[in-house]
């Protein structure tokens, strides 16, 4: 799959640095797909079925963010704890507080487990600087962007993608410059249908997304196409599948993972029971023990 070559079709609002805040990107003819993609709050929305996406995300996109916390809490009093909006807010806050927020001292060893593994893999196996070559990294399923910032320390251009608009907006707002004038970029896009040219990235993070997607094999195929030969894939998962999302026959179970990767990758790190810490609130913390793998894409990876 080859992604669109996009240009600005309309710029309604731009930032002081010329960044497009609200407007439209176009994939022009000839040679392009002819589609247009909206940019809202500085976030390009690069999805195939835009109507369906906007229908599902409309309330999230339109929700005000200029209210004080007490006003947000007041408005949420009418919602049941099981309400979808409440569940989504809890997930957003948990991801936002997970990293790089300093953990509770008692939980620090657990909270440092997954970031330490990612840091080790990127530092040891990530792309080395090359003269006149831009090293690109992708954080697929970036949530609120904590690990995208970690990735950005090891590449020249880091991109985070996620389908949850509120996660991407939080990631964009929280992103810190890695060097003067640079910070990670964030897009709304599907990890199993990314809008990038084949071989775009030198390193890809797929952190705890394998079991949170409808078709894990399609995900691996899409990420494999986006990764250049010799590039690094770092994949972690607790194998916490939900039948409502991933059918039994579509799952990659733990005893299949290395065999599945071996077709196109050389596995260079394999760690079991790496703790992944999610702080739900001050007194409720979830910890998953994830399988964590780093693999290098073979030069002769099989075509999809």
Helix (H, G, I), strand (E, B) or coil at 253: coil
Q: Which fold has domain 90-297?
A: Rossmann fold (3.40.50)
Q: Which pLDDT does position 4 carry in this prediction?
A: 47
E strands, 121-165, are 136-140, 157-162
Q: Which pLDDT does position 210 carry in this prediction?
A: 97
Q: Residue 143 in contact with residue 212, Cβ under 8 Å?
A: no
Domain-by-domain residue ranges, the chain?
1-40, 90-297
* Mean pLDDT of successive 10-residue stretches along the chain, which has 304 residues: 58 76 82 82 93 94 87 80 78 88 88 97 95 94 95 95 96 81 88 90 98 96 96 98 94 97 97 95 93 94 59
How far is it, in rounded angstroms, from Cα 39 to Cα 174? 18
Residue 197 tokens, joined: 């040219």
Strand 201-207: give its sheet, edge to edge: 185-188, 157-162, 136-140, 201-207, 227-237, 284-297, 265-281
Q: Which pLDDT does position 224 carry in this prediction?
A: 96
Nearest to 59 by CA among 23, 83, 77: 83
Element (H, E) at 281: strand 265-281
Q: Residue 295 in contact with residue 233, Cβ under 8 Å?
A: yes
pTM: 0.91
Q: Which pLDDT does position 2 carry in this prediction?
A: 42
How far is it, in rounded angstroms, from Cα 215 to Cα 235? 15
Q: Which pLDDT does position 119 carry in this prediction?
A: 97
Query: Under 8 Å CB-to-CB from 162, ≥6 apart: which residues?
Result: 141, 142, 143, 168, 171, 186, 188, 189, 191
Residue 119 tokens, joined: 């840091």
Q: Which residue has the tokens 């840091």?
A: 119
Helix 165-174 crosses helix 84-98 at what angle (to 10 degrees)?
30
Q: Which pLDDT does position 17 carry in this prediction?
A: 73
């Amino acid at each position: 799959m080859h992604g669109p070559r996009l240009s600005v079709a309309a710029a309604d609002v731009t930032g002081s640095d010329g960044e497009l805040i609200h407007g439209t990107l176009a994939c022009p003819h000839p040679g392009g797909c002819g589609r247009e993609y909206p940019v809202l709050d500085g976030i390009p929305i690069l999805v195939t079925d835009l109507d369906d996406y906007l229908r599902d995300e409309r309330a999230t996109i339109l929700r005000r963010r200029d209210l004080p916390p007490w006003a947000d809490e007041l408005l949420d009093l009418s919602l049941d704890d099981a309400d979808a909006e409440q569940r989504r807010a809890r997930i957003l806050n948990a991801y936002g507080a997970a990293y790089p927020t300093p953990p509770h001292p008692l939980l620090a060893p657990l909270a440092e487990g997954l970031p330490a593994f990612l840091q080790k893999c990127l530092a040891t196996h990530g792309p080395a600087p090359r003269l006149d070559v831009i090293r690109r990294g992708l954080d697929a399923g970036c949530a609120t962007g904590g690990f995208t910032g970690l990735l950005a320390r090891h590449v020249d251009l880091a991109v985070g993608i996620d389908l949850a608009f509120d996660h991407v907006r939080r990631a964009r707002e929280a992103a810190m410059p890695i060097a003067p004038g640079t910070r990670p970029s964030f897009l709304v896009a599907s990890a199993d249908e990314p809008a990038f040219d084949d071989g775009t990235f030198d390193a890809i993070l797929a952190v705890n997304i394998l079991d949170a997607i409808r078709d894990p094999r399609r995900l691996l195929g899409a990420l494999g196409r986006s990764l250049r030969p010799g590039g690094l894939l770092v994949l972690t998962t607790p194998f916490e599948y939900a039948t409502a999302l991933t059918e039994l026959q579509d799952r990659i179970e733990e005893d299949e993972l290395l065999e599945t990767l071996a077709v196109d990758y050389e596995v260079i790190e394999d760690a079991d029971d790496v703790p992944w810490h999610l702080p739900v609130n001050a007194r409720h913390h979830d910890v998953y023990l994830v399988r964590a793998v780093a693999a290098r894409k073979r030069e002769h990876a099989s075509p999809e």
